[in-house]
């Protein structure tokens, strides 16, 4: 282990973008991300004296008690270190991300801040569902991957594989990994971003035991696999083994060499990342500053994570500085919040510790104090085109009501929930001041459990939560006729048609090519992008807004004042998409076209109170005309268990209205793919444990919506309306 670089050295390196790598770990749950991060920090001398990767001692990056208790990562954590490679020093800004699918939103957001990722794959388990998900998350942000095959010690010690068998296994993992890149990557990256053992973009080793190898490293240091296998067989004490490892094959050197050699620096990366994540004019001065990562350009910072000090309530906004220099005391503009604020502190990370540095330059992962915004916020000097929204692959599917132990503490709870949701953007909170019903919507049961416990333990605020509730969706089954919606004053009319969204559009939205939010009229870059996917520019120009995966099109012709009411039409659309006509559940999967409209000549008579109700009414009626129905969330899961439990699993899945659709035998084990309604999945983990005597586990592979069976439609709809305090029998859709 080296002695740590000084803060001065960190600060100096921060100004040399060519010598910076912004990266994250990413992997399926428990494949060893945090153990790896720990050993990197230890090697850089940036960790307190303790055995690196020693779980029971606690990982350095686990900042919350619950992470230590559950032995899993919940929050992403930012760390930085330095490394020498081919005679030069480099600054590595690293984010360790969680693997549990409930915390996957933290991975999505981390990917915005970085340009490359070390994907870990456990040598024993191989490619798992979440491996595929993290590759998707990375490629959506144009983040380049390298591969580290971890836990190779288990192949040696437990599976007792010989070198040939090990090699076979590695080749299989690399091939599967590259198949995923082939499937998921955009055309221009499919070949370029495949990994290869030969070029050294694949590493192998054991994060926990601190050793690693890659072809590049084996040549550089003249060691090979046999040396490591012999080491395990040598009968050396643990200390002697560690001494050999740190001297001959330390994993930090393998990983950091690989990161420096194969992952891009911010100047290279921003050239192709910016056009993908920022939809402004690339030829403007600001656009050029972003593309060139210009330290002297106009500043642009994206918040990717908020941390709130539980003791002092002090807020810190971590994220990526894409352009310019930010200094303490500078007044900045938050483009989403539309607010001016002043930067109180600028931090860079040294190890896990944020150090106050006065100013930071483009191309780094840093943190700001004194500005209070949400993750996803774009911070600039004046008003600018903000960055694209960071949309997570999965949506929250599980909901619980939450109330204070003492009813009079409700206002305090509302305050706390707002803070919690700010810190964890995967959590959605709906606060209903009328009914006093507050709902928290999370990614899974574990997510809500952690949230609940943190409110109780870290904030010392006792709460009660209800049974889990499912949030359903509303959509349509066919195309509607054209429906008229009249404004209350009868002077404005909208003619609206709805139809199920085409598979093509649904995919573009799911893949993030078309993002949520409003669209400007002359967004040429965007039109060209859509044209690549076969959408004519003429059609793309009609898109006005996307909300919950529904698209609003303006198909009117020659309406003189339409531009002036467009925002109101958009708002009316958004309101219905958030609360549909059947049970005020969110709508999905629709194309909504404004076919025609009649507007009052005088602007006074076509204000919000006139236009919005007319639009809402037309959309709702059109949905009813198009057979509006309730859809329910499903999850596609992968169940792993010994083959002898097949019958039990089959029964369990069927009892829960699920279907098995794929079974793969892997020796004694089987992998079963099944799909199940979320409404039936509460407590699945324990049901599965009892059905398989503790030997079965499951992972979420995908999320989708499907029609609630006809015989349940009416019942579920009434139940939701009742819960929301709406008249359950009122079908007038108010
Ligand atoms: N045998 C072996 N075990 C390892 C290795 N790396 C990690 N582990 C063990 O795997 C488990 C998970 O390790 P973590 O480092 O917490 O994995 P992670 O990917 O950060 O986990 P999450 O963040 O919760 O997804 C722990 O029990 C580690 O001790 C390794 O190289 N070999
Ligand atoms: Mg971890």
pLDDT band at 393 (very low <50, low <70, confident <90, very high): confident
Does the pLDDT value for residue 567 go beyond 60?
yes
What distance in Å separates the CA atoms of residue 93 and residue 459, rounded to the nearest whole number? Answer: 30
Q: Is the pTM for the entire model greater than 0.75?
A: yes
Which residue of 28, 29, 35 sits with most ligand 1 atoms within 8 Å of its CB, as the best mutation to test the pocket?
35
Average confidence score pLDDT of the chain: 91
Cβ of 208 closer than 6 Å to ligand 1, yes or no, is yes
Cβ of 123 closer than 6 Å to ligand 1, yes or no, is no
Cβ of 72 closer than 6 Å to ligand 1, yes or no, is yes
Atom of ligand 1 nearest to the CA of 157: 1
pLDDT of residue 459: 86
Question: Any alpha helices (H) in 583-729, and if so which ranges?
Answer: 608-625, 646-655, 684-691, 710-723
CATH 3.40.50.300 fits 7-262, yes or no: yes
Q: Which ligand is nearest to the CA of 70?
A: 1
Cβ of 73 closer than 6 Å to ligand 1, yes or no, is yes
Give the closest residue to 16 by CA, choosing from 265, 298, 214: 265
pLDDT of residue 1: 54
What distance in Å separates the CA atoms of residue 734 and residue 725, rounded to the nearest whole number? Answer: 12
CATH 3.30.230.10 fits 474-627, yes or no: yes
β-strands 550-554, 590-598 pairing: parallel
Give residue-wise pLDDT tens across range 459-507. 889 999 999 999 899 999 999 999 999 999 999 999 999 999 999 999 9
* Residues 137-159, mean pLDDT to the nearest whole number: 96
Q: Which ligand is nearest to the CA of 150?
A: 1
Which contacts qualify for 45-54: CB closer than 8 Å, 24 or more apart?
Answer: 45/1, 45/2, 45/3, 45/4, 46/4, 46/79, 46/81, 46/350, 46/351, 46/352, 47/351, 47/352, 52/210, 53/207, 53/208, 53/209, 53/210
What distance in Å separates the CA atoms of residue 289 and residue 272, rounded to the nearest whole number? Answer: 13
Does the pLDDT value for residue 51 go beyond 60?
no
Span 398-471 CATH architecture: 2-Layer Sandwich (3.30)
Cβ of 37 closer than 6 Å to ligand 1, yes or no, is no
Asked whether 28 and 107 are in contact (CB, 8 A), the reply is: no
Fold match flag (7-262 vs 632-713): no
pLDDT of residue 2: 61
Give residue-wise pLDDT tens across range 285-305. 999 999 999 999 999 999 999
For residue 511, the tally of other CB atoms under 10 A from its CB is 15
For residue 212, the CA-to-ligand 1 centroid distance in Å is 15
For residue 263, the CA-to-ligand 1 centroid distance in Å is 24
Asked whether 300 and 349 are in contact (CB, 8 A), the reply is: no
Which residue of 77, 101, 150, 208 sits with most ligand 1 atoms within 8 Å of its CB, as the best mutation to test the pocket?
208
pLDDT band at 352 (very low <50, low <70, confident <90, very high): confident
Residue of the nearest CA to atom 32 in ligand 1? 151
Give the closest residue to 512 by CA, choosing from 193, 276, 194, 183: 276
Q: Which residue ranges make up each domain of the chain?
A: 7-262, 268-380, 398-471, 474-627, 632-713
Q: Which ligand is nearest to the CA of 36?
A: 1
**Higher pLDDT pick, 524 / 604:** 604
Torsion angle, alpha carbons of 592, 596, 601, 603, to 10: 10
Cβ of 98 closer than 6 Å to ligand 1, yes or no, is yes
Does the pLDDT value for residue 169 go beyond 90?
yes
Structure tokens at 319: 């994220």
Does the pLDDT value for residue 273 go beyond 70?
yes
Residue that is written with structure tokens 């403007």 in the block: 284
Structure tokens at 606: 């076509």
Residues with CB under 5 A from ligand 2 (ion): 33-34, 73
pLDDT of residue 56: 53
Cβ of 206 closer than 6 Å to ligand 1, yes or no, is yes
What distance in Å separates the CA atoms of residue 108 and residue 89, rounded to the nearest whole number? Answer: 29
* Residues 332-346, mean pLDDT to the nearest whole number: 95
Structure tokens at 562: 């339409």
Does the pLDDT value for residue 733 go beyond 60?
no
pLDDT band at 59 (very low <50, low <70, confident <90, very high): low
Q: Picking from 119-123, 153-157, 311-315, 449-453, which range would have the lowest pLDDT averaged per residue?
A: 311-315
pLDDT of residue 668: 84
For residue 72, the CA-to-ligand 1 centroid distance in Å is 9
Give residue-wise pLDDT tens across range 512-554. 788 887 776 667 778 888 888 889 999 999 999 999 999 999 9
Asked whether 86 and 426 are in contact (CB, 8 A), the reply is: no
Q: Which ligand is nearest to the CA of 100?
A: 1
Structure tokens at 295: 């330290």
Span 632-713 CATH architecture: 2-Layer Sandwich (3.30)
Give residue-wise pLDDT tens across range 629-678. 999 999 999 999 999 999 999 999 999 999 998 999 887 889 999 999 99
Give the closest residue to 322 by CA, choosing from 115, 34, 490, 580: 115
pLDDT of residue 374: 92
Does the pLDDT value for residue 734 go beyond 50?
no
pLDDT of residue 516: 82
Q: Picking from 231-240, 359-368, 478-487, 516-525, which range would have the lowest pLDDT averaged per residue?
A: 516-525
pLDDT band at 569 (very low <50, low <70, confident <90, very high): very high
Cβ of 185 closer than 6 Å to ligand 1, yes or no, is no
Superfamily (CATH H level) for 268-380: Translation factors (2.40.30.10)
Does the pLDDT value for residue 5 go beyond 90?
no
Torsion angle, alpha carbons of 258, 262, 266, 267, to 10: 140
pLDDT band at 71 (very low <50, low <70, confident <90, very high): confident
What distance in Å separates the CA atoms of residue 175 and residue 40, rounded to the nearest whole number? Answer: 27
Percentage above 70 pLDDT, the chain = 96
């Amino acid at each position: 282990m080296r002695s740590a670089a000084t803060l001065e050295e960190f600060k100096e390196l921060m100004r040399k973008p060519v010598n910076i790598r912004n990266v994250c770990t990413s992997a399926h749950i428990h494949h060893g991300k945090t153990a790896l991060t720990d050993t990197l920090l230890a090697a850089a001398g940036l960790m307190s004296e303790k055995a690196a990767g020693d779980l029971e001692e606690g990982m350095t990056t686990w900042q919350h008690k619950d992470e230590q208790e559950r032995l899993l990562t919940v929050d992403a954590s930012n760390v930085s270190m330095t490394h020498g490679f081919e005679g030069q020093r480099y600054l590595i800004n690293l984010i360790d991300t969680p693997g549990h699918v409930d915390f996957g939103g933290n991975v999505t957001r981390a990917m915005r801040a970085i340009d490359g990722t070390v994907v870990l794959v456990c040598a024993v388990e191989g490619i798992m569902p979440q491996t595929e998900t993290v590759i998707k998350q990375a490629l959506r942000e144009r983040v380049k991957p390298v591969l580290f095959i971890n836990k190779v010690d288990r192949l040696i010690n437990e599976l007792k594989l010989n070198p040939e068998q090990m090699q076979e296994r590695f080749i299989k993992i690399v091939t599967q990994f590259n198949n995923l890149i082939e499937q998921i990557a955009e055309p221009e990256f499919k070949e370029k971003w495949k990994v290869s053992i030969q070029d050294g973009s694949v590493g192998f080793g054991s994060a926990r035991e601190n050793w690693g190898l890659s072809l590049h490293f084996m040549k550089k240091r003249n060691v090979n696999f046999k040396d490591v296998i012999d080491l395990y067989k040598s009968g050396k004490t643990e200390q002697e083994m560690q001494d050999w490892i740190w001297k001959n094959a330390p994993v930090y050197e393998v990983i950091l060499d690989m990161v420096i050699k194969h992952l891009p620096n911010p100047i290279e990366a921003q050239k192709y990342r910016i056009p993908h994540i920022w939809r402004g004019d690339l030829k403007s001065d600001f656009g050029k500053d972003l593309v060139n990562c210009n330290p002297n350009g106009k500043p642009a910072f994206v918040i990717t994570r908020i941390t709130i000090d539980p003791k002092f309530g002090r807020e810190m906004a971590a994220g990526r500085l894409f352009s310019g220099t930010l200094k303490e005391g500078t007044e900045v503009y938050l483009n989403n919040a539309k607010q001016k604020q002043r930067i109180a502190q600028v931090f860079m990370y040294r190890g896990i510790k944020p150090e106050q540095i006065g100013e930071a330059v483009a191309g780094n992962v840093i943190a700001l104090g004194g500005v209070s915004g949400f993750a996803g916020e774009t911070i600039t000097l004046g008003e600018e085109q903000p960055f694209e929204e960071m949309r997570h692959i999965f949506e929250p599917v599980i909901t619980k009501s939450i109330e204070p132990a003492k009813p009079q503490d409700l206002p305090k709870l509302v305050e706390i929930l707002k803070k919690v949701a700010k810190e964890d953007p995967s959590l959605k909170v709906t606060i209903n001041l009328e009914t006093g019903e507050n709902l928290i919507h999370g990614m899974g049961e574990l997510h809500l459990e952690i949230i609940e416990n943190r409110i109780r333990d870290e904030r010392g605020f006792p709460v009660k939560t209800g049974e889990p509730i499912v949030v359903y969706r509303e959509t349509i089954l066919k195309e509607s006729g054209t429906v008229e919606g009249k404004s209350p004053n009868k002077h404005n009319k909208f003619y609206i048609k709805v139809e199920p969204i085409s598979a093509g559009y649904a995919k573009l939205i799911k893949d993030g090519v078309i993002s949520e939010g409003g669209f400007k009229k002359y967004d040429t870059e965007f039109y060209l992008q859509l044209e690549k996917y076969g959408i004519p520019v003429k059609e793309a120009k009609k898109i006005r807004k996307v909300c919950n995966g529904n698209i609003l099109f303006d198909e009117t012709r020659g309406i003189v004042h339409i531009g002036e009411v467009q925002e109101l039409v958009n708002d009316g659309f958004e309101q219905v998409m958030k609360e549909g006509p059947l049970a005020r559940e969110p709508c999905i999967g629709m194309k909504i076209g404004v076919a025609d409209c009649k507007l009052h000549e005088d602007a006074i008579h076509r204000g919000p109170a006139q236009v919005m109700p007319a639009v809402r009414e037309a959309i709702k009626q059109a949905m009813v005309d198009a057979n509006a129905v309730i859809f329910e969330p499903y999850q596609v899961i992968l169940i792993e268990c010994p083959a002898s439990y097949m019958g039990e699993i089959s029964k369990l899945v069927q009892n829960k209205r699920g279907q098995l659709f794929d079974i793969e035998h892997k020796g004694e084990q089987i992998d079963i793919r099944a799909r199940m309604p979320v409404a039936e999945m509460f407590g699945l983990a324990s049901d599965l444990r009892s059905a398989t005597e503790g030997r079965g586990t499951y992972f979420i592979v995908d999320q989708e919506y499907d029609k609630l069976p006809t015989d349940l439609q009416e019942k579920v709809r009434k139940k939701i309306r009742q819960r929301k305090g709406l008249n359950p029998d009122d079908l007038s859709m108010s």
